[in-house]
Amino acid sequence: MGVTITGNNSANRIVQDNRSEIIVNALGGDDVIILNLVGNLGGDNFVDAGSGNDIVDNRFEGGNEIRLGAGNDTYVGNGFALTGEGFDRVFGGDGNDTIAVSTSNSVYFGEDGNDTFISEGWQNFFSGGAGTDTLSYELRDESNVLGGSGVTIDLAQNFANTGAIRIEEFSSIENATGTNVGDTIFGSSVNNVLKGRGGSDLLVGRAGNDTLDGGTSADEMIGGAGNDTYIVQNSGDIVDELNDGGAGIDTVKSSISFSLEQSAKLGGVVEKLTLTGSNAINGTGNSAANTLTGNSAANTLNGGSGDDTLNGGLGKDVLTGGTGADKFLFKTALNASTNVDRITDFNVIDDTIQIDNAIFTTVAGTGTLSAAQFVKNTTGFAGDGNDRIIYESDTGKIFFDSNGSASGGSVHFATVGTNLALTSADFFIV
């Protein structure tokens, strides 16, 4: 006959220190519940964790029923059952729950919320339920150090092969995370986030707007249809958009120098490139209309052909639009010492300098800059109280003057060629 333990609305700590069955009704509060502590044996317990952000630590898989209830809860399950099906039954309830298990033949239901299942086991079943849910095999890292293998996860077919004939099944899982060795992960028809972590991984997004992140090793990432995002961290990474049929607007986010031109490292057409991290790295576009965005360091961005948008971000950047009608966007905090970009090929017929009114706060209006707010001279100073953008034609420097006064408020933010036929029409307020 089991013992019944009822908590209260405080943060309770409940420990089962023998093998007798218990029934726990924890009620409210952020509770900690430890089951099967002695000898890591026992089982056949019932827990209702109630409301609050609870932690349930179950040391032995064996016929337990756990209901985590409301709140962002954490469940840890250990101890492999030798036989049987559905040895433990765990229900996440409301909230964004984390369920981490080293078990077999048990069933886990995330129910509501954005839940994360982390498995080191086999033959388990995971149901994400409502929300955007994730299945991860990062717990296998330690065993992989001792010679373990990666996993194969297929979000469309609802199964994961964790080695030999060890299969786990699941439903309503949108995102997947692999191990520290080479994994193969397939997405589904919805929006997926696929993470390979360590090892040389193969990630295939299929349909949907997917994010593919292979990790630090040399990975192959195939987006498929949709607006896909590729996280590039290794010079050996391969980005493949050949099978998307030209559909979608795709993005590479790279912490190393990267080119969108087709090569052995990139197949198909990717439209956007964002440089990440804080290293001085470079980005190159292709023949499409690209959007190139720098990071916080000094970057060199080259749009190539096509009507491109270049945003250097922070740092002293060198921007080259290439052929086409290009836009140069300025939307980071101005600093004449550390954040001045040089535009190497500004063309007054085709190109435009875009300024963000959240940064250029005293520039009036939106759209094309009014003639009254622009002045071209060789002093770099405002001529009257209306002047906000000043082109110093003999040096190519472009200033923003917050108050239209020659005595202060002027900040150098860009440099173009000298003696250009620059007018207010070359500036656009966004």
Return the pLDDT at 349.
Answer: 98
131: left (phi over 0), alpha (psi -120 to 50) or beta: left
pLDDT per residue over 94-117, tens digit each? 999 999 999 999 999 999 999 999
Return the pLDDT at 146.
Answer: 46
Assess whether pLDDT exceeds 70 at residue 145: no
**What element of type H or E holds 340?**
none
Return the pLDDT at 144.
Answer: 53
165 class by beta-carbon count within 10 Å (0-12 exposed, 13-18 middle, 19+ buried): exposed
The DSSP code sequence of 150-186 is --EEETTTTEEE-STT-EEEEES--EEE--SS--EEE
pLDDT per residue over 375-384, tens digit each? 999 999 999 9
Tell me the C-alpha to C-alpha distance, in Å, between residue 39 and each of 3, 22, 202, 217.
19, 16, 41, 41
Using the 8-state DSSP alphabet, how is residue 373 labeled? Answer: G
Tell me the C-alpha to C-alpha distance, in Å, between residue 142 and each of 197, 220, 252, 345.
14, 24, 31, 53
Per the DSSP assignment, residues forming a β-bridge with 13 are 32
Q: Note the pTM of the prediction, 2 decimals.
A: 0.94
- Residues with Cβ within 8 Å of 426's Cβ and at least 6 positions away in sequence, in order, are 346, 348, 351, 352, 353
Assess whether pLDDT exceeds 60 at residue 129: yes
pLDDT per residue over 383-401, tens digit each? 999 999 999 999 999 999 9
Please write down the long-range contacts of 38-46, taking CB distance under 8 Å and 24 or more positions apart. 40/78, 40/79, 41/79, 42/16, 42/18, 43/87, 44/2, 45/2, 45/16, 45/21, 46/2, 46/22
Per the DSSP assignment, residues forming a β-bridge with 319 are 301, 343
The 3-state DSSP class for residue 38 equals helix
CA distance 328 to 349: 14
Per the DSSP assignment, residues forming a β-bridge with 22 are 3
Residue found under tokens 């209006």 = 365
Of 287, 325, 315, 281, residue with least CA distance to 301: 281
- Residues with Cβ within 8 Å of 322's Cβ and at least 6 positions away in sequence, in order, are 285, 302, 303, 304, 305, 306, 308, 345
State the average pLDDT over residues 352-359: 98
CA distance 307 to 304: 9
- Residues with Cβ within 8 Å of 197's Cβ and at least 6 positions away in sequence, in order, are 138, 177, 178, 179, 180, 183, 215
Comparison of pLDDT for 231 and 3, the residue scoring more: 231
Q: Using pLDDT thresholds of 50, 70 and 90, give the confidence band for residue 264.
A: confident
